[in-house]
Structure 1
Amino acid sequence: MDKEEVKKIKDAVEEVKLSDLPGIGPAAVAKLESAGIFDLMGVAVLTPPQLSDISGLGEAVCRKAIQSSRKMLNLGFMDASEYEKKRQDINYIPTGSKNIDNLLGGKGVESKAITEVFGAFGSGKTQLALSLAVHVQLPKEKGGPGGKAVYIDTEGTFRPERVKQYAIGIGANPEKVLKNIFVARAFNSDHQILLVEKIGEMIKDGEPIKLVIVDSLTAHFRAEYSGRGQLADRQQRLNKYLHDLMKLAEQRNLAVFVTNQVMSNPAMMFGDPTTAIGGNIVGHASTYRMYLRRGKKDTRVAKLIDSPNLPDNETVFQVTQDGLKDVILKSED
């Protein structure tokens, strides 16, 4: 199947409306859209009980609608060469530091993936997030996807004045850059979850969103489910939230970048006891994981600890007024 045939199939699928699915009428479409489901893929990835809860339809009707959507989308197996072609539409967002870009494969943060950075207070997590919110706006000829960013702020750390400094650092218009970043302050985990649902509506309305930032991922979940007896509930909600973020990234070809808090592991006798909050749930959901820590002389160390295609490695950078700057390490003779 060549590119032209793939495009024809894709265009044909995009022309199919939710109301064209068997058993899905206007009332059900309205309920689906209010839940952030606007296309066939949104239906295809649901289970019959999930679709039934959202639409109010019986599970038999929902099962038929899901099967029809999957058939139209051809959600089956493909050979690896076809899968490679499918990944050619991946976008990359420069971080502002060539060292970090190289750590992530050479081009920056990848779309259709969740990139997690964790580290202690002052390690540079938010600074990296703000830098990405600016660099996502770079046109393709300058290495960016030329899109807008959504910034979900759970700790009140978003600073417009800092964004302006980053914009000036790359020669962009600070006011235009701010206009292309949609910021929401999430006050609890329910609000945080609701905001992700709103992003689908924004994209449907024509906003070219290419990056979703959650800073930080676990702050509210950690505070609201603090007891040992609530750990299972917290992990279940966090797992569902991460699943929704991954689904959004894959369906909309956008990048998801999350920052995460840390704790010290007292059982660790040797080495760095710093551990990311969220355990295996966050670890398995994140496509790329980076650990940030303070280095020598106002530097930051970024260490890639998990990736599906890259080796573990680390690099050094600085946070300056104009943005992230690379540090060239001198080789020891």
Structure 2
Amino acid sequence: MRPLSTLPIPPSVQGALSRAGFHTTDDVGGVGAVALSEAAGITRRQALDVLRAVRGKGEGAGSGRSAAVSLAALVGGGTAQESGAEEVGRSAYALLLEERQQVPIITFCAEVDEMLGGGVPLGKVTEFTGAPGIGKTQLGMQLAVDVQIPEAFGGAGGSAIYIDTEGSFVVERAVEIASAVVSHLDAQAAADGVAHGLSLESVLSSIAYYRVHSYVEQIALINLLPGIVEELGNVRLVVIDSVAFHFRHDFANMGVRTRVLNGMAQSLTLLAEKAGLAVVLMNQVTTRGISQGHAYLAPALGESWGHAATVRVNLFWDNGARLALLFKSPSHSQGSARFAVTVQGIRSEPPDEPPPGTSPKRGNKRLRASASTGGEEAGASESVAREEEAMKVGAGATKRHHPLK
């Protein structure tokens, strides 16, 4: 029997467990994740983490129990055959419950959040692609601040890791974005009578910043991320800005580059799933070919890299306006939304002023998948055609009330 305070459990979760009467490893010995979540008022992901800590490290050295326990035992609370590795099988219902508990990270643009199904999802890898100046770094810094918004205010209530490969992270800009979010929460807290507990200093202190100067440093840091995440505790976001920078010029052998990139993608996907956090990749674009007499842009790192992210969003200009186009998602249809980069950070674009005597024409449209034309480059794959259309076409997105307004 060990006190729960001696285990690697975040203080906020320890407090919830203590208030619910769970003080030692014996107290949670026969409790499953679902029951523990309901009894202590924590998420099922947090309950799973607690049970892993208890059953993996909470037993005495002479107990003979393996450090790895089956997920079936963790979720159900009964006994299960234990081995040196976690069982792969999980019920679809357990996955559903876990997904419903996860709070997406808002972007502070209601239209983009709506397009993504509430915001950037936890447990998945999301990639934003776009040309320089479109707002990728701005979005990355915005997410690093927004992930800290408390759950009571519609946020994920976590911290962030920001990996900067280009030197584009500007702390003064982060101060502007953080100040705007704190001010927004101050106003919301005053209206609702609920304290949020964030300050400019606390927000900046909860962004762990890493500057990498080569692909070797980048790979090494990514391999160390699981330990860093465990040490920091409550990390809910990892941003890599940009993922492609060190891989576009330092490799003479493209086959080696592809293998290295595939390994990095697998590591990031595993980290997102196991730690229940969002991995956000900012990616550059490159000229891929000619279609109908015009050069078109596509995400850097090639077609094989397109499988690295679960969700892919292209950021591009359309008649002077910034558009975000969702062109890959397992759960949401293709769509687009306008957004703006303001002094306060990422925000919804102000509505167009209609001419006198007319009604606004801002559309509640969803982008429809376009069929590829015969003028495409010979031999182009279906995925290339979809990405080409994604780079060229955009439309307005359905609006909704923003969760923080």
Give the TM-score normalised by the residue count of structure 1.
0.77
Is residue 337 of structure 2 the alignment partner of residue 315 of structure 1?
A: yes
Change (3 A) 1:101 1:212: same
1:235 offset after TM fit, Å?
A: 0.9
Is residue 165 of structure 2 the alignment partner of residue 126 of structure 1?
A: no
1:86 offset after TM fit, Å?
A: 3.0
> AA paired with 1:244?
S
C-alpha distance in structure 1 between counterparts of 2:122 and 2:362, whole Å: 37
CA contact (8 A) 2:68 2:83 kept: no
| Unmatched 5+ stretches in structure 1 | 26-38, 42-66
Q: 1:47 matched to which residue of 2?
A: none
Percentage of identical aligned residues: 30
Please identify, of 187-196 and 131-140, the stretch whose mean Cα deviation from structure 2 is larger.
Answer: 187-196
Bigger relative contact order, structure 1 or 2 (CA pairs below 8 A, ≥6 apart): 1
Change (3 A) 1:93 1:6: closer
* C-alpha RMSD over aligned residues: 2.9
Structure-to-structure mapping, 1:79-158, within 5 angstroms: 80-105=92-117, 107-158=118-169
1:142 offset after TM fit, Å?
A: 1.6
Of Structure 1 and Structure 2, the greater helix share is in 1
1:75 offset after TM fit, Å?
A: 2.1
- Where 1:149 maps in the other structure, the secondary structure is strand
- Where 1:243 maps in the other structure, the secondary structure is helix
Change (3 A) 1:12 1:290: closer
- Higher gyration radius (CA): 2
Please identify, of 180-189 and 323-332, the stretch whose mean Cα deviation from structure 2 is larger.
Answer: 323-332
1:234 offset after TM fit, Å?
A: 0.6
Structure-to-structure mapping, 1:1-333, within 5 angstroms: 3-4=34-35, 10=48, 11-17=50-56, 40=68, 68-70=83-85, 73-78=86-91, 80-105=92-117, 107-171=118-182, 173-225=199-251, 227=252, 230-269=253-292, 273-297=296-320, 299-327=321-349, 328=351, 330-331=360-361
C-alpha distance in structure 2 between counterparts of 1:12 and 1:116, whole Å: 32
- Where 2:289 maps in the other structure, the secondary structure is coil
Residues 22-57 of structure 1 deviation map (CA, whole Å, 9 limit, x = unaligned): xxx9xxxxxxxxxxxxx749xxxxxxxxxxxxxxxx
Give the TM-score normalised by the residue count of structure 2.
0.64
C-alpha distance in structure 1 between counterparts of 2:116 and 2:130, whole Å: 17
C-alpha distance in structure 1 between counterparts of 2:293 and 2:37, whole Å: 53
> AA paired with 2:222?
V
Residues 251-286 of structure 1 deviation map (CA, whole Å, 9 limit, x = unaligned): 111100010011112243367711001223321121
| Unmatched 5+ stretches in structure 2 | 1-31, 40-46, 70-81, 184-198, 353-359, 364-405
1:108 offset after TM fit, Å?
A: 0.8
> AA paired with 1:313?
G
CA contact (8 A) 1:123 1:293 kept: yes
